[in-house]
Amino acid sequence: MKRLFLACLGVVLAGVGVAGLVLPFLPGLALIFVGLSFIAPELAEKLKRKILRRWMKREVFLLKERRRGGVTAGFTTRHFPLVLSQTDDLLDPFHQELFKKDLRRNLRSLKGGGAKGGWERFVFLDQPHGDRVAVIEDSAKYEAPGFYRLFDADGVVTPIGGLALLALTADCLPIFFYGAGGEPLDSARGKLRRTSWIGLVHAGWRGTKSRIAQKAFRLLLEKSGCAPSDVRIAFGPCIRKEHYEVGGEFLDYFPERSLRRKGGRLYFDLAGENRRQLVEAGVLERHISDLGICTVDENEDFYSFRKEKALAGRMVSFTLKFA
């Protein structure tokens, strides 16, 4: 009943808003948007984010869902000053210093960025388009400030605070993991202190075919002791099903629900298939958030290898748990 009432209210407000487009004393666009938020809240939120991105030209976006629990996560846009084209670029000391400087500058201006601490030690994925998920538990190997490369890895999970995880994408899907709670880390004054885990996965079609997101989720559960209901997951920008044209062999790789035919062509739902696999593995669907950003549709703000080919730069996804 409540949904019906809100939908009716939304239709009325949107109708008044349409009238407001020709009547100067009515805020037409504002009323249309408010009405739409009652009728289709997810669509309204997506439009709001797209409009804000278009006007503000942000260099970095933070995930709201990850600002709790002492974790910061987000990704750069194509407006970020440093343009990277491959993971090897992060081996260059000049690029490393520019990345740290520009990231910290952006985080200082963003609420919840947490630029006052951390952001000295970085681990970045090698990204061979495989399904290996690395586990980092030995903090001694990463004590010194700097950039550390994880060879032959497309995913990583860790409980270590102050260690930023990085992945580069330009159509592939970055997947952020956060596991709250877990097994007791230690006991102090009779009180149990629990640790949380974070993770980051680079999921292209090959990694998705090998179920890399499921592997990261199960590894996080195994290592952390978290319950499935304690895990939160977020999807970053990627190419969406409207533009991801693929060959007929994908019918052998993925279920039909993740593929669709249009105009005699076949398209793959990369984000949808990863969501399906995670839910199948035990993630609660309501605990998976997706910004719905399409790298092709929003190419003014995000890189797309499919659209730009060799000219495409890379977005950098990042997540860090503060010690």
CB 320 within 8 A of CB 165: yes
Span between the terminal Cα atoms of the chain, in Å = 46
- pLDDT score recorded for residue 107: 93
Question: In 10 A of CB 122, how many CB atoms?
Answer: 24
In sequence order, which ranges of the chain are alpha helices (DSSP H)? 2-20, 28-39, 41-56, 93-109, 205-209, 212-224, 250-253, 270-281, 305-308
Task: Specify the CATH number for the domain of residue 313.
Answer: 3.60.140.10
CA angle 107, 112, 117 (to 5 degrees): 60
pLDDT, mean over the chain: 86
Domain of residue 273: give its range: 59-321
Provide the pLDDT confidence category of residue 25 given band limits of 50, 70 and 90: very low
- pLDDT score recorded for residue 147: 98
Q: Which residue has the tokens 């440093």?
A: 82
Closest CA to 291 of 49, 113, 34: 49
| Distance between CA atoms of residues 241 and 262, nearest Å | 11
| Distance between CA atoms of residues 270 and 129, nearest Å | 14
Q: Does a structural domain hold residue 208?
A: yes
CB 121 within 8 A of CB 99: no
pLDDT at 266 over 60: yes
Provide the domain count of the chain.
Answer: 1
Q: Does a structural domain hold residue 265?
A: yes
- Helix-, strand-, coil-residue percentages of the chain, each rounded to 5: 40, 25, 35
CB 304 within 8 A of CB 239: yes
Q: Does a structural domain hold residue 261?
A: yes
pLDDT greater at residue 42 or residue 278: 278
Q: Does a structural domain hold residue 49?
A: no
**Per-residue pLDDT reduced to its tens digit, 229-240:** 999 999 999 999
Q: Does a structural domain hold residue 25?
A: no
Q: What is the token pair recorded at 301?
A: 């703000």
**Per-residue pLDDT reduced to its tens digit, 158-217:** 999 999 999 999 999 999 999 986 555 454 544 445 689 999 999 999 999 999 999 999
- pLDDT score recorded for residue 112: 59
Q: Does a structural domain hold residue 101?
A: yes
- pLDDT score recorded for residue 118: 75
The letter for the amino acid at 244 is Y
Q: Does a structural domain hold residue 158?
A: yes
**Distances in whole angstroms, Cα of residue 93 to Cα of each of 88, 89, 154, 321:** 11, 9, 23, 24
Identify the bridge partners of residue 92 per DSSP, sorted by sequence position: none
- pLDDT score recorded for residue 180: 83
Q: Does a structural domain hold residue 221?
A: yes
pLDDT at 54 over 70: no
- pLDDT score recorded for residue 321: 94
For 2, phi then psi, to 5°, come to: -65, -40
3-state secondary structure 281-313: HCCCHHHEEECCCECCCCCCCCCCHHHHHHHCC
pLDDT at 13 over 60: no
